[in-house]
Homo-oligomer: A and B are copies of this chain.
Amino acid sequence: MCLSAVNGSSSQSSGISSRIKAEDMFCNSSPCCNDAGFLQKNNSLDEKSRMVGAFKESAKNQMCDNSERFTRAETDFSNLFARDLLPAKNGEEPTIQFLLEVVEILTNYVRKTFDRSTKVLDFHHPHQLLEGMEGFNLELSDQPESLEQILVDCRDTLKYGVRTGHPRFFNQLSSGLDIIGLAGEWLTSTANTNMFTYEIAPVFVLMEQLTLKKMREIIGWPNGDGDGLFSPGGAISNMYSVMVARYKYFPEVKTKGMSAAPRLVLFTSEHSHYSIKKAGAVLGFGKENVILLKTDERYLFFFFDECDFKLYGAFDPINDIADICEKYNLWLHVDGAWGGGLLMSRKHRHKLSGIERANSVTWNPHKMMGVPLQCSAILVREKGILQGCNSMCAGYLFQPDKQYDVNYDTGDKAIQCGRHVDIFKFWLMWKAKGTTGFEQHIDRCLEISEYLYNKIKNREGYEMVFEGQPQHSNVCFWYIPPSLRGMPDGDERREKLHRVAPKIKAMMMECGTTMVGYQPQGDKVNFFRMVVSNHAVTKSDIDFLIDEIERLGHDV
């Protein structure tokens, strides 16, 4: 095997050391362990001298001797199995070799993701994949597979997947592959811990706290005060807002159920995300009690009220809505899952003017800010209400008699028990890009979208779904193939136009050249919904998309 070496020690030139430090290895100076006794147990060797040896070896690695321990060696994975990896005896070497082999697969994938000469996807129907593509067998078996086969499985998994970081993948609000975020996720999974207590996630818990405070400051709440959590996605974040609002107005619902409250109604825009309706169904309001308001506005928001208050009409800025909420004593939640990112831009944040008057905000860094999935925050202006709403005081997790300040334990605020560490990648990206880096990212994505809008707004064969320039990076449009141009408006044209986007999309996917979403909405037949959140996208990718739509759609 022709693979080369990775040295286990860190670089000398960077002056940063990842060696095992002596102070990590010996008991610290706490009075409870001043005998350093724990290190001498259950070992026939003299641990102390062994460790001094290890430290010396580590120091030697620092001197750039290309220690053999981390040399990438020719490894025959066909005779190795999971059971040969750590914690197996002598498992360290195969573990490192296996992980490096995986990393090679992943770095190759990363390279290809940004390479426009590769496809966005290699589409196959479910039955094709289930039948086993070129030996890629998805079935699980009783007996273990060799690590060689596991590596093949990893390659095949990526081969038949979709490159969501490809500069020509426009299919979802979440796209792109941020390298710092990726590194953050790799570290997160290596740390493999849980956000519920400071005890087992001290650093991550503090990072979450500081980041949420920063986000609240950016929203505009005084001193960044308030509360919040990262949750497993915008739908759950929106659900939190409804729960907290319900608790604020009718705390007895927590104990006695919905029967303790009068009829409760949620108001939201007809263009709001379906998760608001879902929250209504889940939480026992019933989806009939989620009232959809007609609006020109594409912001997502909802009111919460106990009365049968109805309100139709066109809304504009959040400030107008906030006025109404104040007047009628309504909870105002702003669903900024997608839009929240604009707060990072001095140029665009005025579009969310008034957000500081909201009682709660959903904001998903995994969308417009390019953070890897999942990363969604629910932010609440009133401190302590998440705890009040969700606390169940589970003794086995949240002991009040711990030696540290248990206010840092977050588990009792959440509806989850275990909670994945979603903060680290975001925190690391913020460190690496700075607030200014996020601002540039947002401004750039909106500039690219503006380019698309200007390119097609008067182009033959295109019609815009909404009037005026988009306020975000969404550009919604119909492509009118030559066969429909000049056809009078009416049911026949509508029916035909409805089938255009799906046909073009299907061809795109078969070709694997690009991907863009489409949807109907209300009385509007299927249109393309183009979104830009990937900082790899250039104007030439927009040109490519338009050329591709026209190439594929010409004869539709």
A103 CA / B189 CA spacing, docked (Å):
12
Q: A38-B513, A107-B99, A154-B428 are in contact. Are A434 and B18 (CB under 8 A)?
A: no
A187 CA / B157 CA spacing, docked (Å):
9
Contact call B529/A396, Cβ cutoff below 8 A: yes
Contact call B119/A24, Cβ cutoff below 8 A: yes
Residue in B closest to A440 when the chains form the complex, CB atoms: B83
Number of copies: 2
9 further A-B contacts with Cβ under 8 Å, apart from A7-B104, A28-B511, A154-B187, are A38-B544, A50-B117, A126-B408, A162-B201, A232-B416, A235-B418, A278-B390, A278-B415, A287-B392
Among A105-152, those with CB < 8 Å from B are 105-112, 114, 116-119, 122-127, 129-130, 138-145, 147-152
Q: Does residue A167 face the partner (Cβ distance < 8 Å to B)?
A: yes
Given the complex, which residues of B lie within 8 Å of A190, measured CB to CB? 106, 109-110, 158, 177, 182
Query: Can you list 18 residue pairs at the A/B interface with Cβ under 8 Å?
Result: A2-B9, A28-B122, A41-B548, A42-B541, A43-B117, A82-B429, A82-B437, A126-B202, A127-B405, A143-B434, A150-B431, A174-B418, A177-B190, A233-B420, A234-B418, A374-B418, A395-B521, A396-B519
Given the complex, which residues of B lie within 8 Å of A515, measured CB to CB? 199-200
Contact call B194/A18, Cβ cutoff below 8 A: no
A11 CA / B199 CA spacing, docked (Å):
42
Residue in B closest to A429 when the chains form the complex, CB atoms: B82
Q: Does residue A289 face the partner (Cβ distance < 8 Å to B)?
A: yes
Q: Which candidate, A65-73, A300-308, A312-320, is the interface stretch facing chain B?
A: A65-73
Given the complex, which residues of B lie within 8 Å of A54, measured CB to CB? 117
Q: Does residue A510 face the partner (Cβ distance < 8 Å to B)?
A: yes
Q: Which candidate, A249-257, A348-356, A465-473, A477-485, is the interface stretch facing chain B?
A: A249-257
Q: A109-B190, A403-B506 are in contact. Are A432 and B147 (CB under 8 A)?
A: yes
Contact call A199/B183, Cβ cutoff below 8 A: no
Q: Which of B13, B99, B284, B374 contacts A179 (CB 8 A)?
A: B99
A376 CA / B232 CA spacing, docked (Å):
13
Q: Does residue A81 face the partner (Cβ distance < 8 Å to B)?
A: yes
Interface centre among A51, A141, A171 (most CB of B within 10 A): A141
Q: A41-B544, A233-B419 are in contact. Are A511 and B33 (CB under 8 A)?
A: yes
Given the complex, which residues of B lie within 8 Å of A82, measured CB to CB? 179-180, 429, 432-433, 437
Q: Which of B4, B287, B526 contacts A72 (CB 8 A)?
A: B4
Q: How far is the CB of A159 from chain B (nearest CB, A)?
A: 7
Among A1-24, those with CB < 8 Å from B are 1-14, 16, 18, 20, 24
Contact call A416/B233, Cβ cutoff below 8 A: yes
Q: Which candidate, A84-92, A325-333, A454-462, is the interface stretch facing chain B?
A: A84-92
Interface centre among A404, A419, A427 (most CB of B within 10 A): A404
Q: Does residue A198 face the partner (Cβ distance < 8 Å to B)?
A: yes
A526 CA / B106 CA spacing, docked (Å):
47
